[in-house]
Structures are given as structure tokens and as C-alpha cells.
Amino acid sequence: MRPVRIVHLGLGGFFRAHQAWYTGFDPDWGIAAFTGRSHELPTLLSRQRGRYTLVVRGPSSDTLEVQEAVVAAYTGTDLGPWNALLEDSAVAVVTITMTEAAYAPGGVVAERLVGGLAMRRLAGAGPLAVVSCDNLPGNGEVTARVVRDLAARLDPGLDEWIAANVSFVTTMVDRITPRTTPDDVRDVAAAGGWDDAVPVVTEPFTEWVLSGDFPAGRPAWEKAGARFVDDVVPHETRKLLLLNGGHSLLAYAGSARGFETVAAAVADPVCRTWLDEWWDEACRHVPLPAAELTAYRAALLDRFANPRIRHTLAQIAADGSQKLPIRVLPVLRGERAAGRPAAGAVRIVAAWINHLRGAGAPVNDAGAEPFRARASSVRDVLELLGSDLSGDADLVTAVEAEVRRQSPG
Ligand code: CS2
């Protein structure tokens, strides 16, 4: 069995299709993975000794790969094993996929890491790298900030130790991984010949770009195609604005037009035109050569259109209050600062406001309440997103007009 040298927080489908898959290429590295809270997945995965099937679903066929990098699975609230692993000097890397909302000051990412790092310091277990794999710009810097702020409040000595011993790596992660359905479980059992209770279905495309130090070593993730660069920013901007921003457009505007999946929405000529308009606008804010962006857009269209990947708009619509500020507002602000109307970004914000008012996919967002309570006023919603936005009278008028244009009936 692989030795545990990575501890992961956020055991779910995406982690198992992405970081665990990359780690699979280096047999010297095993992962102990913790969920946020759920008991079910660790129980089922432990019964299979961490093994599960990764279904790589292309446009015309599937490849089934049994994954072996995860060697232990725990519930996130199980602090005993969490602390014991962080006290172990063999553990060199902590990876995280907890979604955007978990990085709030004092949130679960800060709390778990500060707790675990305090134990590691006391145990004298030495330095390590923390690798955030969530869709946040500068995710390494964000993690460092929330961890160090909390540590400094609790124990300035711990904060100093973290500054000297913990490297916060910034990454761009990408692999479209819809939630596994009961049909997927049945199909895998039929095709794979063993009763895998927790398979993961993902697309063939995958990308991982990282920047930062690994003071206690790392797996040879480059064997699977990961890239180590000096500056992640152009890559993360490309991915967050074009892929994730495009997703959010389809999730709100596409579900309001009656579509259920990304593939169905992108086949609709209206949604497709809106997507192109968003991409034209967003590309002005991605610091990469035009040819690279054109190629990325073409590849994205193929990925979105993959009819065998059932990626629901409802899944993507979740947590809009956390996602829009990252995926859409930078373009909105950049366009307005340049004196342009920002029609593509306005369309997404308007579609989200209609979603808050009940159109399309259901609202599933712990942070939505203040927005929902004031959703009847476009100006109020913009005010909550930023007073620079509600103070822009032309923008308020444009969003109001677009909300009306997209409203059903
Ligand atoms: C999606 C992402 O649910 C969402 O918000 O936009 O999960 C997306 O599928 C991944 O970032 C793709 O790498």
C-alpha cells in the first residue's frame, strides 16, 4: 500500500477525478482524504480500501480506470486522525477542495488548518506545503491570509512558525466532474465487473497549473501533465472567466430557458450567442495571446457540448453569491472602467437576479439570503455586490432592462 504523504480536505468527486488521478501516477505517494462533514462517502470508500472507478467519458466512449492513490478516507469532523496525520513528518502536502465559501475568515479551511498546523508545530514534524485546489483567484494567497489571520489571533508564536514552515501553493485546477448518479453506479457495476458503490464520472480533458514551493517534497504530478510555473494568474484568469463564467451564464440564463444540462443549453442558438458575447468581452481581461484564447474557446465548446457528460445547470447554479464576484464581476468592473457597456457581464448578473426571483434552477446557496430578500430591486442587489456598482446609474439601468428582457412572459 502507498504510504500516506498527502492529507486532503474536501473528499468528493472533483478531488477523486483530479488531484487523486494525478497522484495515481506516482506510486510513492498515498492520500488520506477527509470530507467536509459527510459520513457516507468515507464509509463506502473505506469498504473498498479507498479504491474506486474513474469513468473517463469521451464524446463517443468510456474508459474505466481503477484509482488507487486514496488509501484512507475519513469524515471531516474526525479530528483524531486529522491531527495525527499532520503530526506525522512523512506527510508533506495538504491539498484542499472545499468550494469558495469555505475560505471565509474563520471558516472551515482556516479552522482545520490552524488546528492541524498547531499540532504539527508541537510535534516538531517540520515544514509542509498547503495546496488549495478551489476556484478562487490567488487561492494560495487567500488560504495563507485566512490561516495566518486566525493563527495570529490565537497564538502569535504559531503564526511565526507557519510563516517559516508552511508554503501556500497557488493553483489552477480544471476537470468537469458532474455529481455521480445512481445510473452511473449501475453502469459501472455492469461494465467493470465489481460492485463499486462510489465511482466518479469525468471528462477526458484535465489541467493543473501550480506555482509555489514544496519544502517537504511532492509527487511527480508532472508525469500526468501538471505544469509548474512562476505565475498562475494568466491561467487562472482564463479558466475562471471563460470556463466558470461561461458555466454560470448557462446555469442561470440557460435554466431559465428550460434547459437542464450544459450540453443542452450550449446547443441552443440563443444561449450559444450569449456565450460567444460573454467570451468576446471576457477575453479582453485575460492576459494571454489571442491565438491561445481562440484555441481555448474552441476546446471549451467541445467540452461543454459533450452530450455524454450530464452536467446539470442546477449543480453549477449553486452558491452564486460566492461565484459571481470571482467569475463575472472582474469583467463587469473592467469594462465599466474602460467606459464600455459590459453587455455580456450584465446579462449574467441579470440572469442571476431572475434566478433569485425564482426563474430556472432552484436557489441553493447559503449566502443568498440577503440578496434574495432584496431581489425585487436591482439597485439593492448591486449595492450588496459593491457600492461602486450601485453607484453606476447607467449600469443599474442596463441591468434592469436586461432583467426585464430575460423575464419569462
Ligand atoms: C463549475 C465548476 O460548478 C461550477 O461552478 O463551474 O465546478 C467547473 O465544472 C469546474 O471548475 C471545471 O474544472
- Tell me the average pLDDT across 315-320: 97
Instruction: For CA atoms 225, 229, 234, 240, give the dihedral sign.
Output: positive
| Ligand 1 site, residue 255, Cβ cutoff 6 A | no
H or E element: which one contains 129?
A: strand 128-132
Q: Counting atoms of ligand 1 from 1, which one is nearest the CA of 244? A: 6
Q: What are phi and psi of 220, to 5 degrees?
A: -80, 65
pTM: 0.96
Measured CA to CA, the distance from residue 9 to residue 212 in angstroms comes to 19
Measured CA to CA, the distance from residue 65 to residue 55 in angstroms comes to 6
CB-based burial label for 127 (10 Å; 0-12, 13-18, 19+): middle
- pLDDT tens-place string over residues 343-363: 999 999 999 999 999 999 999
- pLDDT tens-place string over residues 28-59: 999 999 999 899 999 999 999 999 999 999 99
Q: Counting atoms of ligand 1 from 1, which one is nearest the CA of 319? A: 5
Measured CA to CA, the distance from residue 160 to residue 152 in angstroms comes to 8
- pLDDT tens-place string over residues 250-285: 999 999 999 999 999 999 999 999 999 999 999 999
pLDDT of residue 64: 96
Among the listed residues 98, 89, 81, 160, the one whose alpha carbon sits nearest the alpha carbon of residue 132: 98
Write the CB contacts of 229 (distance below 8 Å, at least 6 apart in sequence). Answer: 209, 210, 211, 235
pLDDT of residue 193: 79
Q: What is the CA(244)–ligand 1 centre distance, in A?
A: 6
Domains 4-231 and 234-406 share a fold: no
- pLDDT tens-place string over residues 114-157: 999 999 999 999 999 999 999 999 999 999 999 999 999 999 99
Confidence of residue 69 (pLDDT cuts 50, 70, 90): very high
CATH fold group of domain 234-406:
N-(1-d-carboxylethyl)-l-norvaline Dehydrogenase; domain 2 (1.10.1040)
pLDDT of residue 37: 87
pLDDT of residue 192: 80
Q: What is the CA(117)–ligand 1 centre distance, in A?
A: 29
- pLDDT tens-place string over residues 381-402: 999 999 999 999 999 999 999 9
Q: Atom 3 in ligand 1: which residue has the minimum CA distance?
A: 316
pLDDT of residue 409: 61
pLDDT of residue 115: 98
Question: Domain limits of the chain?
Answer: 4-231, 234-406
Q: Counting atoms of ligand 1 from 1, which one is nearest the CA of 18? A: 13
**3-class secondary structure, 91:** coil
Decide which of 3.30.9.10, 1.25.40.340, 3.40.50.720, 2.40.240.20 is the CATH code for 4-231. Answer: 3.40.50.720
Average pLDDT over the chain, rounded to an integer: 97
In percent, the amount of the chain with pLDDT more than 70 equals 100
